[in-house]
Amino acid sequence: MHAKLSASGAHRWMACTPSANLEEQFPDKSSEYAEEGTLAHSLAELILRYNNNEISKKTYSTRLNKLKKDPLYSQEMQEYVEDYALQVWEQINEVKAACPDAQALFEQRLDFSDYVPEGFGTGDVVIIADDMLQIIDLKYGKGVGVSAIGNPQLRLYGLGAWLEHSMLYDIRRIRMTVVQPRLENVSTEELSIEELLDWAETEVKPRARLAMEGEGEFCVGDHCRFCKAFATCRAQKDHQMELAKYEFADSELLDDSEIGEVLSRVDALAKWAEAVKDYAFDQALNHGVHYDGWKLVEGRSNRRYIDDTRVAEVLQKAGYHEIYKPKELQGITAMEKLIGKKQFADLLDGLVEKPEGKPVLVPQTDKRPELDSAEKIKNEFNEL
Ligand code: SF4
């Protein structure tokens, strides 16, 4: 059961306090990505506990074999998680070299309900040494790079860990790190305990109170991405529809600056439209909802063989032999998953290339360098 104000949702309920109440109206939905993340966390915990001599080799092997039976397990996952565990382990060793009494705790329940009603979460790794408390969080996803800077989830974990251990240790500083092995992303924020507590007191407490009571203003932003109310939130709809209200110039064709305006909104608009379509489809299919002017019908489908072996037998008997497709290699991503990233790199060194990508139009903020346009190249050529 999730807390209403979870640490992982804190960036959302802190920015848009009424979202917590809205989200309660929707069931929890698991996704393959979430399940994959859970499996990666179990694997990481197992490796770390074994490294830390908390479990025997036999227990480790038995549990590992069990995890390997999960259909979402892959050699690639094993390598990424080992990568992460190695980084954690290096950190623990470094800390222990300076402070032999340092403690490393894995999958700790962290309670921060002094600041957030019913608030708790699970910290992947907590390291306590001298005056420093560290939180390390594994992010197995690779959709978006996660930064530790100003990250409320990590700060709340830090707060929970501090609340738990401050009686026994004189903790002065807190360091929070995100490790995202599939993006080779490691990001750290370090705060003094005063800074953390000031943030908790002045920002978390009041926002949590509003969120708990369903008060405050709706606020649309990046935090809407995984909001359960995304498809049906009115504030979201109003925001997306603002494009329609733009004061476009009074001429028959849009000018370049107007097209620029449309471009800057169109991806978010398309994502929202897709979410509304998915939501409506689910409602119609699974909950019998009827939308005026819409109906459920059977989609188009392609013919398929009922029994491949039988089909082959019949055709071969009839004298047809060229009935199989030529053998095809697995795609690069699937192959990496199959044999693992390292093995892939070793064995296929020099046999994989990355051709030039086709030009794409992206926002100015994108990190990739700007391409010269055909027009510019033509002009430069004419100037020679
Ligand atoms: S979709 Fe965005 S604006 Fe709407 S409730 Fe969720 S977080 Fe708030």
pLDDT in tens, 206-238: 999 999 999 999 999 999 989 999 999 999 999
Strand pairing of 185-192 and 173-180? antiparallel
Which residues, 6+ apart, have CB-to-CB distance to 55 below 8 Å? 46, 49, 63
Is any atom of ligand 1 closer than 6 Å to the C-beta of 224? yes
Is residue 86 within 8 A of residue 125, CB to CB? The reply is no
Alpha-carbon span 248 to 103, nearest angstrom: 62
Which residues, 6+ apart, have CB-to-CB distance to 120 below 8 Å? 3, 7, 109, 110, 111, 112, 113, 160
Higher per-residue confidence, 245 vs 218: 218
With a cut of 80, say whether residue 178 has pLDDT above it: yes
Q: Which atom of ligand 1 is nearest to the CA of 219?
A: 3
Instruction: Look at the alpha carbons of 288, 291, 295, 301 in this order and tell me if their dihedral is positive or negative.
Output: negative
Alpha-carbon span 103 to 209, nearest angstrom: 34
- What average pLDDT does the chain have? 91
Pocket test for ligand 1, best of 5, 12, 236 (most atoms within 8 A of CB): 236
Residues 16-23 have a mean pLDDT of 96
pLDDT band at 367 (very low <50, low <70, confident <90, very high): confident
Pocket test for ligand 1, best of 6, 8, 16 (most atoms within 8 A of CB): 16
Is any atom of ligand 1 closer than 6 Å to the C-beta of 218? yes
Is any atom of ligand 1 closer than 6 Å to the C-beta of 16? yes
Alpha-carbon span 180 to 69, nearest angstrom: 24
With a cut of 60, say whether residue 381 has pLDDT above it: no
Percent of the chain with pLDDT over 90: 75
Which residues, 6+ apart, have CB-to-CB distance to 292 below 8 Å? none
Percent of the chain with pLDDT over 70: 95
Is any atom of ligand 1 closer than 6 Å to the C-beta of 19? yes
Is any atom of ligand 1 closer than 6 Å to the C-beta of 155? no
Which residues, 6+ apart, have CB-to-CB distance to 275 below 8 Å? 230, 231
Q: In angstroms, what is the span from residue 226 Cα to ligand 1's centroid?
A: 9
Q: Please give, one letter per residue, the 3-state secondary structure of 187-224.
A: EEEEEEHHHHHHHHHHHHHHHHHHHHHCCCCCCCCHHH
Q: In angstroms, what is the span from residue 17 Cα to ligand 1's centroid?
A: 9
Cα angle 5, 224, 4 (rounded to 5 degrees) comes to 15
Q: In angstroms, what is the span from residue 183 Cα to ligand 1's centroid?
A: 27
Residue-level pLDDT at 100: 87
Instruction: Look at the alpha carbons of 232, 238, 240, 244 in this order and tell me if their dihedral is positive or negative.
Output: positive
Domains of the chain: 10-213 (3.90.320), 222-287 (no CATH)
Is residue 85 within 8 A of residue 60, CB to CB? The reply is no
State the distance between the two ends of the chain, measured CA to CA, in whole angstroms.
Answer: 69
Q: In angstroms, what is the span from residue 111 Cα to ligand 1's centroid?
A: 26
pLDDT band at 247 (very low <50, low <70, confident <90, very high): low
Q: Is 125 exposed, middle or buried (CB count within 10 Å of its CB: 0-12, 13-18, 19+)?
A: buried
Pocket test for ligand 1, best of 217, 219, 224, 276 (most atoms within 8 A of CB): 224
Range picked from 230-234, 245-249, 337-341 for highest mean pLDDT: 230-234
Pocket test for ligand 1, best of 12, 17, 19 (most atoms within 8 A of CB): 19
pTM: 0.82
Q: In angstroms, what is the span from residue 236 Cα to ligand 1's centroid?
A: 6
Is any atom of ligand 1 closer than 6 Å to the C-beta of 15? no
With a cut of 80, say whether residue 375 has pLDDT above it: no
Q: Which atom of ligand 1 is nearest to the CA of 234?
A: 4
Minimum CA distance residue for ligand 1 atom 2: 224
Is any atom of ligand 1 closer than 6 Å to the C-beta of 95? no
Strand pairing of 132-138 and 173-180? parallel
Minimum CA distance residue for ligand 1 atom 3: 220
